[in-house]
């Protein structure tokens, strides 16, 4: 690795009790707006005919925009330290980040009683089996949701184990409720669960074990 990772442990748990938003919210900034436009392009590509006449021209334009961005990008080391200075649950997260076009994004709020909850609708770019969400994308949403629930409970940690059970297919183009809650702590271990619900039926559940960094051990109280 050619960069120094900033020590942002302290900054990872910045949740302010009472703030209804647990994930970074769109602020209409230039990166948010660019991400929204790129998401529209990703969805439209998934719904395009491969022989659509406009594709080559549009691709040439996209390549020109990519090159113009690339002329101005920051070194990874600088961007790494800059991008982590902001909100604890990051604006660039691949599941929840409003600035990341890969993210749907999943926005989560404090639903009370320790539950973090959000609603998201996924289109064809997230497809696995025909008409349904990719199992790995369900796992991505659940891992992110469990991390948000840990954030709500006061301590984050690295994912050590994530077990996902798929009970029913998760449909595309149907609002999905994603919720998670930290059940208990044991030393540096955090035990957290979550689920994805569509049309009132549980589609996938997750059990996660997270290990908090030594410095935050015990923070957020024991369960």
Q: Which stretch binds a second copy (CB under 8 A): 74-82, 108-116, 188-196, 214-222?
A: 74-82
- The answer to whether residue 29 forms part of the interface with a second copy (CB under 8 A) is yes
Taking CB under 8 A as the criterion, the residue among 21, 25, 44, 188 binding a second copy is 44
Site for a second copy in 79-108 (CB under 8 A): 79-80, 82-84, 92-95, 99-102
Q: Output the six-digit token pair for 35.
A: 């991400």
Nearest to 206 by CA among 159, 173, 171, 158: 159
- The answer to whether residue 201 forms part of the interface with a second copy (CB under 8 A) is no
- The answer to whether residue 175 forms part of the interface with a second copy (CB under 8 A) is no
Q: Which stretch binds a second copy (CB under 8 A): 17-25, 53-61, 112-120, 182-190?
A: 53-61
- The answer to whether residue 8 forms part of the interface with a second copy (CB under 8 A) is yes
**Coil, helix or strand at residue 102:** coil
- The answer to whether residue 202 forms part of the interface with a second copy (CB under 8 A) is no
Q: Do the beta carbons of residue 172 and residue 127 sit within 8 Å? A: yes
Could you give the C-alpha distances from 134 to 23, 48, 122, 162, 170, in angstroms and in order?
23, 20, 10, 16, 8
Q: How far, in Å, CA of 173 to CA of 168, rounded?
A: 16
Q: 57 or 112, CB closer to a second copy?
A: 57
Torsion angles phi and psi, residue 50, rounded to 5: -65, -20
Q: Are strands 201-211 and 158-166 parallel, antiparallel or unpaired?
A: antiparallel
Total of residues contacting a second copy (CB under 8 A): 91
Q: Show the binding pattern over residues 107-126: x = contacts a second copy (CB under 8 A), - = does not.
A: ----------------xxxx
Q: Which stretch binds a second copy (CB under 8 A): 14-22, 37-45, 176-184, 188-196?
A: 37-45
Taking CB under 8 A as the criterion, the residue among 25, 159, 177, 217 binding a second copy is 159
- The answer to whether residue 218 forms part of the interface with a second copy (CB under 8 A) is no
Q: Do the beta carbons of residue 198 and residue 178 sit within 8 Å? A: no
Q: How far, in Å, CA of 205 to CA of 190, rounded?
A: 17
What value, to the nearest 5°, has the Cα angle with vertex 140 and ends 173 and 131? Answer: 30
How would you label 101-127 residue by residue, b for 16+ Cβ within 10 Å and e otherwise? Answer: bbbbbbbbbbbeeebbbbebebbebbe
Taking CB under 8 A as the criterion, the residue among 10, 19, 46, 121 binding a second copy is 46
Taking CB under 8 A as the criterion, the residue among 10, 65, 201, 215 binding a second copy is 65
- The answer to whether residue 178 forms part of the interface with a second copy (CB under 8 A) is no
């Amino acid at each position: 690795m050619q960069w120094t990772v900033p020590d942002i442990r302290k900054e990872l748990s910045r949740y302010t009790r009472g703030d209804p938003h647990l994930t970074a919210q769109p602020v209409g900034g230039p990166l948010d707006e660019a991400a929204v436009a790129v998401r529209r392009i990703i969805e439209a590509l998934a719904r395009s005919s491969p022989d659509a006449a406009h594709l080559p021209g549009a691709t040439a334009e996209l390549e020109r925009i990519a090159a113009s961005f690339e002329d101005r990008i920051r070194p990874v080391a600088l961007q790494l330290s800059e991008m982590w200075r902001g909100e604890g649950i990051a604006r660039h997260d691949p599941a929840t980040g409003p600035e990341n076009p890969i993210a749907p994004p999943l926005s989560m709020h404090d639903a009370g009683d320790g539950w973090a909850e959000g609603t998201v609708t996924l289109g064809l770019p997230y497809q696995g089996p025909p008409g349904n969400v990719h199992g790995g994308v369900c796992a991505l949403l659940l891992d992110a949701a469990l991390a948000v629930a840990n954030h709500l409970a006061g301590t984050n940690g690295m994912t050590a184990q994530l077990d996902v059970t798929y009970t029913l297919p998760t449909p595309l183009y149907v609002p999905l409720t994603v919720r998670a809650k930290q059940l208990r702590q044991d030393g540096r271990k955090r035990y957290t669960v979550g689920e994805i619900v569509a049309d009132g039926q549980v589609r996938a559940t997750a059990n996660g074990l997270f290990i908090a960094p030594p410095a935050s051990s015990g923070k957020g109280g024991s369960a």
